[in-house]
Structure 1
Amino acid sequence: MKYQEEQQHGVHVTTSNSDSQGYSDMNDEKKGVFVTTDEADETSDEMFHDRDAIMERIAISSDLDDLQGDDADFVVDKTMIVKRQEALTVLSEAIDYHTNDVNFPKDTLNKMRLLVQGEEAYGESPATYDLDLRLEAAMIKYFSPYPEIRSVCRPTDSDVVVETFRAYAVGLVWLVIGAFVNQIMAFRQPSFTLSSQVLQILIYPSGKLLQYILPKYKVGFGRFKIDLNPGPWNFKEQMFATIVTNAGAQAANFSYYGPTMRLSIFYGQTWQTFGFTVIMNFASQFFGYGLAGSLRRWAVYPVKAVWPTILPTMQLNRTLLTLEKKQTINGWSISKYKLFFILLWASLIYFFLPDFLFESLSTFNWMTWIAPQNKHLAYATGSLIGVGFNPIATWDWSVINYATPMVLPFFVTANRYAGTVLGAIILLIIFYTNFHSTAYMPPNRSTVYDRYGATYNTSAVLTNSKFNLEKYLEYSPPYVSAGQYMYQSTAYFIYTFAFAYVFINEWSTMKEAFVGFYQALRNRNQSAYARYGDPMSIMMRKYKEVPDWWYLLILGGSIAFSLVGVGAFPSDTPVWVAIVAILVSCALIIPFIVLYSTTGYFMSMNNLATILGGFMSPGSPLACIFCRIYGYSIDEQSETIIGDLKLGHYSRIPPRSVFRGQVIGIVIQCFVTAGVYEMLVASFDDFCSTTNKAKFTCTFAHTLYADSLLMGIVGPERTFRLYPMFKWAFLIGAVLGPLAAYGRKRFLKYLQYFHPVLFVGGIIRFGSTYNLTYYTSGFYVAYFFMYYIRRRYLTWWSKYNYIISSGLTAGVAFGGILIFLALQYHPVELTWWGNSVYDAGVDGAETATLKSLADGEYFGLREGTWD
């Protein structure tokens, strides 16, 4: 789009002042009126505008009243230099670009359409029309059209130190601590993580401490000098340290898969060692990183790539490091800083109630308490075995926040919740009609069952870890619950559906990215930002870029690690199988990452990769697991790293600094997480068992075991014969995807906020331990904050929304750590009604079925009919 490709002369985007000083120091000259000339409309451009009049217009504009302080001054100054014909051009092209943009405010888009139609269509006085025209154009050209971005970003850049010794020191220390804690918690249920917001809180005082204790001294290494203490700890150092920490503070992806392969309760591959885990960590983490860097033009540079999931991190950074002017907004005068820490402590203290003192408040299945042994009540309203139709499902923020209701746009939450409600209804229909014998199994479990209703015994169909057809014919085909059946069918459907839908809807953006990537490879001197003229990209042009070949080199190196891990160890997986899985992952990630960057909805190819492994290496569950590693793990790592690249883009962190920090962080993470995994395996004889007293039950390992059993041991062909919808779902998705894309464009007026991929994604929320319990309360919160408050009190929402979310989430995380270390690592039992009532009945037993079998009976296919 042209308004992104043209940089007008006289655009000031950089200041040597810190962010706390703001824009007011940049244009302190003329604060009265201005006169411009434009041959296209000489009369209009000779109109005089008073600064106070523009500021007053900002205050009463429903789509701009979130602007405050220095940001408002900046927009006023830019409004005064925008010419009328230029404004019309900017708005016209912006309308074309954002028409199909689900994040773009609909009211603002309609306002812009009226503005380009002229004064008569707009219905205001000529002076008001002229002012609004320029104001909207200035906002798009010099700042951002999204209120979410304006609430967390500044329209100017600051020349302050970034990649300092103390930033590395703080970032790497908390990376190690975060990786250690998060890797431990990855195997625990319920789990919690040291999130980005929590780590920021810990990074901030650490950085300030080093500011006071480090000597003001430069250490020389030849021609290189390191300034140990370059001055006050600043917001770019804070964000850089956060990015370094984020790169490695999460659990390593491969370690999720290790227990399923290694432990005797699963496949018992005891040949796994620390060295093998490190190699596979390098393979998956750096493949994801190399892929992430190669996808910058699809998911970092485009304006549409809002990345709602990283906005709380941006807001918290601004709160901690930026001076805030005292002001009263809708009766609130409390500072964001003070509010954050009040909520943090309140949330921390309160979390002891649902997580330890009164656990039934967390999974608040109060409706089942009325008749604990009533199976039908448990199926419909239960939090553990049922679908969770419960208007008040929890009093626990960790459950309410499961779908990040105060972060994702409301249309995302609404679409997915509507799909989840429909999924619950479909699940009950499948269950009560005994479709595919599902009435003989609990309704919403990930467990795979045999024909007698017992958990499927894989050893009964294996000989030397290989599938044995004779044993299989004697034993049983695998059967899944109604929830798992619906989950698998919908997951296969959404792959082809989402791929087609997103590719068609976002073709112009993706095409532009393909062209830019190709040209950058041909001309290494070409700027990556040359094709992007939005304010953020313009400000980034002064920094040295990271060439695409750097990321491609890392990509190639990680593939080498992958092939070593698969080929040099008894993985039972041919090297070519790993290569195919990698190529398929690369092919599918582009539309999926575009979807994630705009909606916050994460998709991966975990199920598809499992099927690929089953087809390419029949009878080998390990091949399925390795393919899934290259599918899910690589995609997830890519999307996490790209989010941090966008974080650096929003914060104006030099790209090469981000590159160095992330690479160092990932290397350290690979070793730390491998060590933690080995420690846990050695510490617990019953690690990953459902009876583990420390709650290291490894929920994902059990789900992976079920999937690999279906597609690896039994194989896709036999599974698809048992459940034909699994294979037909791919074709149905491929057909309906283009139709949905066409229908949305044809009826955009009525379907502006309906997103079929998100809607279908809501149905996938079943099949394991999750159900409506985890989303109903979150929907209430999303409606209140992301719809009602945002529409009616935009200024208040812009200032406080992300801070409230960050404060509550940080309190839960710290509370969870305290409870775990003090009361759960060496379990302290608190036995009373409030901690037992939630699992005392049918819902808690999680084994009840609609139909039962007499001794000697079995359900499903008759003997001799499965092969």
Structure 2
Amino acid sequence: MAVKGGGCGERRWRKVVAVVKDDSGDDCAGGEDIDDNPIDQVRLTVPITDDPSLPALTFRTWVLGIMSCCVLAFLNQFFGFRQNPLSVSSVSAQIVVLPLGVMMAKTLPTKSITVPFTKWKCSMNPGPFNVKEHVLITIFANCGANAVYAVNIIAIVMAFYHMQISPLSALLLSQTTQMLGYGWAGIFRKYLVDSAYMWWPSNLVQVSLFRALHEKEKRPKGGFTRLQFFLIVFVGSFSYYLVPAYLFPSIASVSAVCLIWNKSILAQQLGSGLHGLGIGAFGLDWSTVSGFLGSPLASPGFAIINILVGFFLFAYVIVPLCYFNNVYDAKRFPMISSKTYDFEGKKYNITRVLNKKTFDIDVAGYENYSKLYISMFFVFSYGLSFATLTAALSHVALFHGKTIYQFWKKTTESLKTEGDVHTRIMKKNYATVPQWWFHTILALMVVLAIFTCEGFGKTFQLPWWGILLACAMAFIFTLPIGIITATTNQQPGLNVITELVIGYIYPGKPLANVAFKTYGYISMTQALNFVGDFKLGHYMKIPPRSMFIVQLVGTLVSSTMYWCTAWWLLTTVENICDASKLPEGSPWTCPGDEVFYHASIIWGVIGPGRMFTKYGVYPELNYFFLVGLLAPFPVWFLSKKFPKKKWIKQINMPILLGGVMQIPPARSVNYLMWGAIGIYFNFYVYKKHRSWWARHNYILSAGLDAGVAFLAILLYFTLQSKEILGPHWWGLSTEDHCPLATCPTAPGIVAKGCPVH
């Protein structure tokens, strides 16, 4: 291979032997200098050959793709309501469908069949299972793996506010919030996909995995193939999970401190892994490790260290200092809780401040009751969300600003030419997706979104102008945040900004607040997911129209499956999400939805004007915007002053500040176990056994996830759905036997089961 050229802005050339098919079907090979991609990582990872004759959107693609989409959507929503929610990624499907596709290629008939009532003919088995089919099936699976944010709205309406809701309105809400992003994706794909400088680093991992899976593999002597290893891990994980899921749930979080000092509030606050700081706590359950933060095996080592540094700084220094000094009357409430409280330390009585007829704030009731208070950890969770937003912007500007500017300048110039080798191959071999397809979906989704919010008795409270304002915010932010994501692999979120904007403009409306946030924030996120997948298809030479169809169908199928699963559980599991009424051992505590519910009270009912200004309890949290903005500057300065100290550049303030935001609903034990496993595999195993790590690490992660998921489903349908939750004994509790950890310590505050100081 011959390479010419210098910096990233210059043309790169390499001598290749490209194998393609000519019109006659004969193989043609030739050595020539080809204008390549300007990004080094892309040149080293992505092949510049293509075989347009390979079938992509086949019968196997539809069957395995829709099956993967449905299974992942069902599993992720099913686990979303549980004590330790488990996120099953598309990597599991990516690995599992490969042998299934090969098996179908060997067993299905090859004879063409005619589609009923049409002249179309297709074969159930057009030849060997190929990588293009595999990519499209994975795109289907990605649709199922991406959670439907709007389901949180449905859950809080039904399980927390105890309101009736139309199934059709809930379904339309799920689908419109997911589909709206297609419009922004279509508008900006020219810049974010066709440009060689928008290179989407995360896609290179997928490209590498596809190439590895489709290379011929021999079982190493004394070892296993990747598939054999996956099956061994799957069986082991499946079998072991019977213990924490049914026989001994308490081992999901064990606190040695609480077991020794079972009558001390201070000891339990320090030792509880679920309601305290987790000192000495551990969990023997994979869902404890990966439930909130994802699999530590799939997380970069530098990110793990940044998150743990942030966790230790806030959990063991800042929060205890503030709590024990009674900042914001913190001793009146638990140290860690996602609930809302009044000044007396009791659960905030939302019925006293919410007008039942109009379902908005009763100002007189609020003024005669109490300001709203939250736990100390929840206070810092919101403060850090403010800081993370501005830290992401300043970090990107300082460390990547020059690169982004150069890439954007080159992008605008390159669009006037034919583009890099990948763009030229795609334009030459495949028909592009007409722009009007995207515009039609955008217009249709906006109309349906307005109908969803204005119709059905205005259940979601958001008026038509709120939909248009949310769309305007998504439109404005999609391109700049897309450029940041495509060049740095970091994606600042709009959730805080959207909550703030609608909270000030339209206060007192809880469902309007969460609906606006979903339409503004999630439509942008979905747009970037679609564009990122399009770039993956661009690299893997997938016909764009096939990509579009798969994404469209996959989004419709996944949003419907998420809605069906949520509706089924919300209407069949008695007292779902109400931990005080659930039987002992029941996993249906909905930790994520509880946080979402209390956020709707904070941002919607009470509003930021009564929370984060002089009229509320927490006006100082606004300084976190400034803290986040300034935080990356010292790191940037030190990286310039000591350029040989490579570790300085690994300090990522947005990750360090933002990593702790998962608490609540995540708990201390989740961070401690996630960090311990992550450090072991991403540092020790990676350095000492690198070949094993490269071959088995991600497959180990997928096997552990899959085993837990399938055993949990089996348990539910065979036993738990019949209220058989496990043997009744001390270890059946899903708590960590630290009941005093949630007790207030302020004098005179009364709480159930707690001593009064």
TM bracket, shorter-chain basis: 0.7 to 0.9
The equivalent of 1:563 in structure 2 is 450
Q: Does 1:477 align with 2:371?
A: yes
The equivalent of 2:463 in structure 1 is 574
The equivalent of 1:166 in structure 2 is 60
Ranges in structure 1 where 5+ consecutive residues have no aligned partner: 18-24, 30-76, 98-138, 145-152, 857-867
The equivalent of 1:324 in structure 2 is 217
Partner of 2:577: helix, strand, or coil? Answer: coil
- Alpha-carbon separation, structure 1, partners of 2:334 and 2:720: 29
- Alignment partner for residue 769 of structure 1, among 656, 661, 665? 665
Q: 1:292 to 1:783 in 2, by over 3 A?
A: farther
Q: CA deviation at 1:217?
A: 2.2
Tell me if structure 2 keeps the 8 A contact 1:432–1:850: no
Partner of 1:192: helix, strand, or coil? Answer: coil
Partner of 1:764: helix, strand, or coil? Answer: helix
Q: 1:336 to 1:560 in 2, by over 3 A?
A: same
The equivalent of 1:421 in structure 2 is 312
Tell me if structure 1 keeps the 8 A contact 2:244–2:285: yes
Q: Does 1:706 align with 2:603?
A: no
Q: 1:813 to 1:687 in 2, by over 3 A?
A: closer
- Alpha-carbon separation, structure 1, partners of 2:208 and 2:338: 38
Q: 1:598 to 1:366 in 2, by over 3 A?
A: farther
After superposition, where does 1:32-431 map in structure 2 within 5 Å?
142-144=43-45, 157=50, 160-219=54-113, 224-248=120-144, 250-263=146-159, 265-266=160-161, 268-270=162-164, 272-292=165-185, 297-298=191-192, 302=197, 305-307=200-202, 311=205, 321-327=214-220, 333-390=223-280, 393-401=282-290, 402-424=293-315, 425-431=317-323
Q: 1:273 to 1:518 in 2, by over 3 A?
A: farther
The equivalent of 1:49 in structure 2 is none
Tell me if structure 2 keeps the 8 A contact 1:496–1:737: no
- Alpha-carbon separation, structure 1, partners of 2:348 and 2:196: 48
The equivalent of 1:617 in structure 2 is 506
CA RMSD of aligned residues (A): 3.8
Ranges in structure 2 where 5+ consecutive residues have no aligned partner: 1-5, 752-757
- Alpha-carbon separation, structure 1, partners of 2:310 and 2:746: 28
Tell me if structure 2 keeps the 8 A contact 1:442–1:846: yes
Q: 1:142 to 1:441 in 2, by over 3 A?
A: closer
Q: CA deviation at 1:461?
A: 1.3
Q: 1:498 to 1:779 in 2, by over 3 A?
A: same
- Alpha-carbon separation, structure 1, partners of 2:749 and 2:88: 49
Partner of 2:742: helix, strand, or coil? Answer: coil
Q: CA deviation at 1:421?
A: 1.0
Partner of 1:709: helix, strand, or coil? Answer: helix
The equivalent of 1:35 in structure 2 is none
The equivalent of 2:720 in structure 1 is 824
- Alpha-carbon separation, structure 2, partners of 1:602 and 1:776: 25
After superposition, where does 1:496-645 map in structure 2 within 5 Å?
496-511=390-405, 514=408, 530=419, 532=420, 542-544=428-430, 545-546=432-433, 550-551=437-438, 553-569=440-456, 570=458, 571-589=460-478, 603-645=492-534
- Alpha-carbon separation, structure 1, partners of 2:678 and 2:141: 29
- Alpha-carbon separation, structure 2, partners of 1:444 and 1:833: 27
Alpha-carbon displacement from aligned partner over 1:175-234 (angstroms, at most 9, x marks no partner): 234334433333333333543133335534543454345332224577754232111222
Tell me if structure 1 keeps the 8 A contact 2:98–2:134: yes
- Alignment partner for residue 555 of structure 2, among 661, 666, 686? 666
Tell me if structure 1 keeps the 8 A contact 2:58–2:133: yes
- Alpha-carbon separation, structure 2, partners of 1:786 and 1:549: 46
Partner of 1:11: helix, strand, or coil? Answer: strand
Tell me if structure 1 keeps the 8 A contact 2:68–2:141: yes
Tell me if structure 1 keeps the 8 A contact 2:345–2:749: no
Q: Does 1:756 align with 2:653?
A: yes
- Alpha-carbon separation, structure 2, partners of 1:513 and 1:773: 42
Q: 1:780 to 1:714 in 2, by over 3 A?
A: closer
Partner of 1:611: helix, strand, or coil? Answer: helix
Tell me if structure 2 keeps the 8 A contact 1:420–1:765: no
Q: 1:10 to 1:800 in 2, by over 3 A?
A: same
Tell me if structure 1 keeps the 8 A contact 2:243–2:249: yes
- Alpha-carbon separation, structure 2, partners of 1:514 and 1:226: 43
Q: 1:326 to 1:142 in 2, by over 3 A?
A: farther
For the pair shown, which has the larger CA radius of gyration, 1 or 2? 1
Q: Does 1:451 align with 2:343?
A: yes
Tell me if structure 2 keeps the 8 A contact 1:612–1:627: no
Q: 1:386 to 1:295 in 2, by over 3 A?
A: farther
- Alpha-carbon separation, structure 1, partners of 2:349 and 2:48: 61
Q: CA deviation at 1:695?
A: 3.5
Q: Given residue 233 of structure 1, which amino acid in structure 2 is its aligned partner?
A: F
Provide the TM-score with structure 1 as the length reference: 0.74
- Alpha-carbon separation, structure 1, partners of 2:501 and 2:68: 38
Q: Does 1:8 align with 2:51?
A: no
Partner of 2:507: helix, strand, or coil? Answer: coil
Q: CA deviation at 1:362?
A: 1.7
Partner of 2:253: helix, strand, or coil? Answer: coil
Provide the TM-score with structure 2 as the length reference: 0.84
> Which sits farther off after the overlay, 791-800 or 272-281?
791-800
Q: Given residue 444 of structure 2, which amino acid in structure 1 is its aligned partner?
A: G
Tell me if structure 1 keeps the 8 A contact 2:9–2:410: no
Tell me if structure 1 keeps the 8 A contact 2:70–2:558: yes
Q: 1:487 to 1:225 in 2, by over 3 A?
A: same
The equivalent of 2:755 in structure 1 is none
Q: Given residue 459 of structure 1, which amino acid in structure 2 is its aligned partner?
A: T
Q: 1:244 to 1:612 in 2, by over 3 A?
A: same
Q: Does 1:490 align with 2:384?
A: yes
- Alpha-carbon separation, structure 2, partners of 1:180 and 1:141: 35
Alpha-carbon displacement from aligned partner over 1:366-395 (angstroms, at most 9, x marks no partner): 3321212322222223111112233x6222
Q: CA deviation at 1:3?
A: 5.1
Partner of 1:8: helix, strand, or coil? Answer: strand
Q: 1:178 to 1:762 in 2, by over 3 A?
A: closer
- Alpha-carbon separation, structure 2, partners of 1:372 and 1:15: 72
The equivalent of 1:683 in structure 2 is 572
- Alpha-carbon separation, structure 1, partners of 2:463 and 2:565: 29
- Alpha-carbon separation, structure 2, partners of 1:629 and 1:515: 32
Q: Given residue 619 of structure 2, which amino acid in structure 1 is its aligned partner?
A: P
Partner of 2:122: helix, strand, or coil? Answer: strand
Percent identity at matched positions?
24
Q: 1:833 to 1:686 in 2, by over 3 A?
A: closer
Alpha-carbon displacement from aligned partner over 1:313-337 (angstroms, at most 9, x marks no partner): 6676556654214556xxx743222
Tell me if structure 2 keeps the 8 A contact 1:307–1:646: no
Q: 1:306 to 1:190 in 2, by over 3 A?
A: same
Partner of 2:698: helix, strand, or coil? Answer: helix
Q: 1:486 to 1:507 in 2, by over 3 A?
A: same
- Alpha-carbon separation, structure 2, partners of 1:825 and 1:595: 46
